[in-house]
């Protein structure tokens, strides 16, 4: 995904998200040494025995997510190594997205450990909680095999918690969320790892972002 800020022309059918700015960050990729070869978790597909990398799957759903957001009228910032956009350490990416004016920051991942649910994480006392809930509900509606219960699967992180490094440098005004839509090592979820399903997954996440944006009535221009 070699694209950066892209703006969809507002029309009568594509202006729901007008004014919204979202950073869609495929994490694990584009990191500095010594993590330059990071590709996230490595999954073994039960049906074939083939191996797939988390980052390759996330790229596919992130592309669909970005396209769907743009179609709704949002501006989207994505990873672009050629211009050093959303590359480097996670902290650098967090700050770059905030400087660009992001209202929402999606740290895109996929889970491992054999679970059966969608999980979102946000920094404690941040506006990411509501966004995480909205995304989770859309994922479970789109894919009944994905469970979601906000009380269990929307997780508040503190500074030293595992995972907090992905989003903790985002200012409090940004709704920053780690998105883990499914478990790549759960055989029941592995049919979702095909390209058409990953595209549908990205669209579901985008619908969750739209639900959050409309419900929260956030129209504040970031400083």
Per-position pLDDT tens, the chain of length 223:
444 434 333 323 368 999 999 999 999 999 999 999 999 999 999 999 999 999 999 999 999 999 999 999 999 999 999 999 999 999 999 999 999 999 999 999 999 999 999 999 999 999 999 999 999 999 999 999 999 999 999 999 999 999 999 999 999 999 999 999 999 999 999 999 999 999 999 999 999 999 999 998 744 444 4
Q: Which CATH number fits the domain that encloses residue 200? A: 3.40.630.40
Task: Classify residue 200 by burial, with Cβ atoms within 10 Å: 0-12, 13-18, 19+.
Answer: middle
- In-domain check, residue 128: yes
Q: Which residue in 111, 108, 121, 109 sits closest to 189, CA to CA?
A: 111
- In-domain check, residue 84: yes
- In-domain check, residue 82: yes
Classify the C-alpha dihedral 95-101-105-108 as positive or negative: negative
**What pLDDT does residue 220 have?**
46
β-pairing, 104-108 vs 21-26, is: parallel
- In-domain check, residue 182: yes
- In-domain check, residue 1: no
- Number of folded domains that form the chain: 1
**What pLDDT does residue 216 have?**
85
**What pLDDT does residue 14 have?**
65
Q: Are 109 and 28 in contact, with CB atoms under 8 Å apart?
A: yes
- In-domain check, residue 223: no
**What pLDDT does residue 15 have?**
85
DSSP reduced 3-state for 79: coil
Q: Which residue in 190, 171, 205 sits closest to 74, CA to CA?
A: 205
**Domain of 182, in residue numbers:** 6-216
Cβ-based neighbour number of residue 18 at 10 Å = 15
């Amino acid at each position: 995904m070699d694209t950066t800020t892209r703006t969809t022309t507002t029309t009568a059918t594509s202006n729901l998200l007008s004014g919204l700015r979202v950073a869609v960050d495929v994490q694990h990729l584009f990191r500095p040494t010594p993590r330059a070869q990071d590709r996230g978790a490595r999954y073994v597909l039960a049906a074939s025995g083939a191996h797939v990398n988390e980052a390759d799957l996330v790229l596919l759903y992130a592309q669909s997510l970005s396209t769907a957001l743009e179609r709704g009228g949002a501006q989207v910032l994505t990873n672009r190594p050629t211009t050093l956009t959303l590359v480097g350490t996670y902290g650098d990416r967090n700050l770059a997205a905030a400087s660009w004016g992001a209202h929402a920051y999606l740290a895109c991942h996929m889970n491992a450990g054999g679970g059966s649910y969608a999980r979102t994480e946000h920094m404690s006392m941040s506006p990411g909680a509501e966004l995480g809930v909205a995304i989770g509900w859309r994922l479970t509606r789109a894919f009944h095999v994905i469970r979601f219960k906000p009380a269990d699967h929307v997780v508040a992180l503190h500074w030293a918690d595992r995972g907090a490094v992905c989003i903790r440098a985002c200012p409090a005004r940004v709704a920053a969320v780690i998105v883990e839509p499914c478990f790549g090592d759960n055989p029941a979820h592995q049919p979702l790892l095909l390209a058409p399903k990953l595209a549908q997954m990205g669209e579901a996440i985008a619908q969750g972002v739209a639900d959050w944006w409309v419900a929260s009535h956030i129209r504040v221009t970031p400083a």
